[in-house]
Amino acid sequence: MAKAANSRIMCDLDWNKPGRQVSVLRVPQSRDDAGWGTVEIPIMVTAGSEARGKGPTVLFTGGVHGDEYEGQIAISRLARSLDPRRLKGRVIMIPAVDLPAALAGRRLCPLDNRDLNRCFPGDPRGTFCQMLAHYIDSVILPMVDVSVDVHSAGHSADSALSTNMHHRADATTMKRTLALAAAFGAPYNVVFWGVDEGATLTSSVERRQILSIGTELGGYGRVSVDGVRVAERGLANVLKHLGMIAGKPETAQADGAAGTRHMMVRDNVAYTFCPAEGLFEPRHTAGTSVKKGATAGLVHFVEDPSREPIELKYRQSGVLWMAMGPGRCRKGDTLAVVMRDYEGG
Ligand code: CA
């Protein structure tokens, strides 16, 4: 049984075996009624035979946040359908990484009330999410060449259908990452500057020099019809782009565009923050073109209906990437994120 020297998580996969394997990451979880209980997180590995030639190892993750469903569906479907006889290289698929959160339809893990995506690089003696983050970082990531972490915006927001990536100082890495995102073929790709706090899966992936993209493919705690379609096509496109399955990436967009529109979120002015606790009335849906100075929404005070609502404005022109719709909002919350066209650099 394969087990990292200092991890409590067990997994009986033979990582180097050709063919299709279905297993679980077995995470200890002591309960009142099961002192030696474990939580089983499904993991699938499909690998081509050596005869097909060597290829890269790709990691597809969904459900890092349990209330983001498109990746859970698309990766599960790919895991059932991917044919090892037609595959070059290896694909590791974890459709619902934070399984307890996925089963509860929540962002945070109900076992320790943590956001798994704020627990990296983890702790082998920590809570459920910390143990899981540590296993992924120390056992799985060292095998991985390319990582696609499929997110959407969860209950509190909706997103324009997009991939995203951090701006990387190294020009070659930057070029390869932009090409990977373009091959995925979402309507938008968003380049971020320095907003990562170092505790996400993506930050662990990047520390290990792994080629990395993420996605935002819907939200509001629902399943986006278009988001699932973009996710499924995108995962297959990545495998085509890397030469792991036959075919060319399909990147035609619903609006007639030939491919992905590259965007960026570079400055603080991309964000509109909440000035006071209240009820947020947004004015636009994700993917809408918006102008600097236009009304982003109103914060209402239903406990004092005679008080005028506070008007919030966009601080730059562009396309609404993240449209928050949490209902109740608190001072300091992000209520809108506007992306603008990528200018290189
Ligand atoms: Ca997310």
How far is the centre of ligand 1, averaged over its atoms, from the C-alpha of 307 (Å)? Answer: 35
What's residue 48's pLDDT? Answer: 95
How far is the centre of ligand 1, averaged over its atoms, from the C-alpha of 70 (Å)? Answer: 11
What is the residue range of 100's domain? 19-265
C-alpha dihedral, 335 to 341 to 342 to 343, nearest 10°: -120
Kind plus residue range of the DSSP H or E element containing 77:
helix 70-81
The residue behind tokens 């020009």 is 171
- Encoded tokens for 220: 């509001």
How far is the centre of ligand 1, averaged over its atoms, from the C-alpha of 85 (Å)? Answer: 33
- Domain membership of residue 11 (yes or no) is no
Look at residue 308 and tell me whether its pLDDT is greater than 70: yes
Q: Compute the average pLDDT of residues 43-71.
A: 93
- Domain membership of residue 5 (yes or no) is no
How far is the centre of ligand 1, averaged over its atoms, from the C-alpha of 201 (Å)? Answer: 11
How far is the centre of ligand 1, averaged over its atoms, from the C-alpha of 109 (Å)? Answer: 13
Look at residue 196 and tell me whether its pLDDT is greater than 70: no
Q: Compute the average pLDDT of residues 60-78.
A: 98
User: pTM score > 0.85 for this model?
Assistant: yes
Look at residue 2 and tell me whether its pLDDT is greater than 60: no
Q: Compute the average pLDDT of residues 277-302.
A: 98
| 3-class state of residue 282 by DSSP | strand
8 A C-beta contact, residue 85 and residue 171: no
- Domain membership of residue 303 (yes or no) is yes
Look at residue 52 and tell me whether its pLDDT is greater than 70: no
How far is the centre of ligand 1, averaged over its atoms, from the C-alpha of 33 (Å)? Answer: 32
How far is the centre of ligand 1, averaged over its atoms, from the C-alpha of 290 (Å)? Answer: 23
How far is the centre of ligand 1, averaged over its atoms, from the C-alpha of 130 (Å)? Answer: 17
8 A C-beta contact, residue 135 and residue 201: no
Domain count, the chain: 2
How far is the centre of ligand 1, averaged over its atoms, from the C-alpha of 50 (Å)? Answer: 36
248 and 148 share one domain: yes
129 and 60 share one domain: yes
Quickly state the pLDDT bin for 50 (edges 50, 70, 90): confident
How far is the centre of ligand 1, averaged over its atoms, from the C-alpha of 63 (Å)? Answer: 8
Of residues 52 and 340, which shows the higher confidence score? Answer: 340
- Domain membership of residue 14 (yes or no) is no
How far is the centre of ligand 1, averaged over its atoms, from the C-alpha of 13 (Å)? Answer: 28
How far is the centre of ligand 1, averaged over its atoms, from the C-alpha of 275 (Å)? Answer: 24
Look at residue 344 and tell me whether its pLDDT is greater than 90: no
Kind plus residue range of the DSSP H or E element containing 100:
helix 99-104
How far is the centre of ligand 1, averaged over its atoms, from the C-alpha of 16 (Å)? Answer: 31
147 and 283 share one domain: no
User: Does residue 121 have a cis peptide bond before it, meaning omega lies within 30 degrees of 0?
Assistant: yes
* Residue (of 284, 265, 269) closest to 158 by Cα position: 284
Q: Compute the average pLDDT of residues 132-138.
A: 98
What's residue 321's pLDDT? Answer: 98
- Domain membership of residue 3 (yes or no) is no
256 and 276 share one domain: no
- Domain membership of residue 131 (yes or no) is yes
How far is the centre of ligand 1, averaged over its atoms, from the C-alpha of 154 (Å)? Answer: 6
Percent of the chain with pLDDT over 90: 94
What's residue 337's pLDDT? Answer: 98
- Domain membership of residue 163 (yes or no) is yes
8 A C-beta contact, residue 192 and residue 263: no
How far is the centre of ligand 1, averaged over its atoms, from the C-alpha of 271 (Å)? Answer: 17
Q: Compute the average pLDDT of residues 269-286.
A: 97
How far is the centre of ligand 1, averaged over its atoms, from the C-alpha of 34 (Å)? Answer: 31
Q: Compute the average pLDDT of residues 195-220.
A: 92
CATH of the domain at 292: 2.40.50.100
Mean pLDDT lowest for which of 1-15, 148-162, 323-337? 1-15
128 and 33 share one domain: yes
How far is the centre of ligand 1, averaged over its atoms, from the C-alpha of 157 (Å)? Answer: 10
How far is the centre of ligand 1, averaged over its atoms, from the C-alpha of 155 (Å)? Answer: 10
Quickly state the pLDDT bin for 1 (edges 50, 70, 90): very low
How far is the centre of ligand 1, averaged over its atoms, from the C-alpha of 149 (Å)? Answer: 9
Percent of the chain with pLDDT over 70: 96
C-alpha to C-alpha distance for 137 and 66, rounded to whole angstroms: 19
How far is the centre of ligand 1, averaged over its atoms, from the C-alpha of 99 (Å)? Answer: 14
Kind plus residue range of the DSSP H or E element containing 28:
strand 19-28
Look over the chain and give the mean of its residue pLDDT values, rounded to a whole number.
95
Mean pLDDT lowest for which of 83-87, 133-137, 193-197, 280-284? 193-197
How far is the centre of ligand 1, averaged over its atoms, from the C-alpha of 62 (Å)? Answer: 9
CATH of the domain at 188: 3.40.630.10
Among 265, 287, 312, the domain boundary falls at 265
> pLDDT (tens digit, 9 = 90+) per residue, 171-191?
999 999 999 999 999 999 999
How far is the centre of ligand 1, averaged over its atoms, from the C-alpha of 48 (Å)? Answer: 31
153 and 288 share one domain: no
- Domain membership of residue 12 (yes or no) is no
Among 237, 265, 293, the domain boundary falls at 265
How far is the centre of ligand 1, averaged over its atoms, from the C-alpha of 84 (Å)? Answer: 30
What's residue 4's pLDDT? Answer: 61
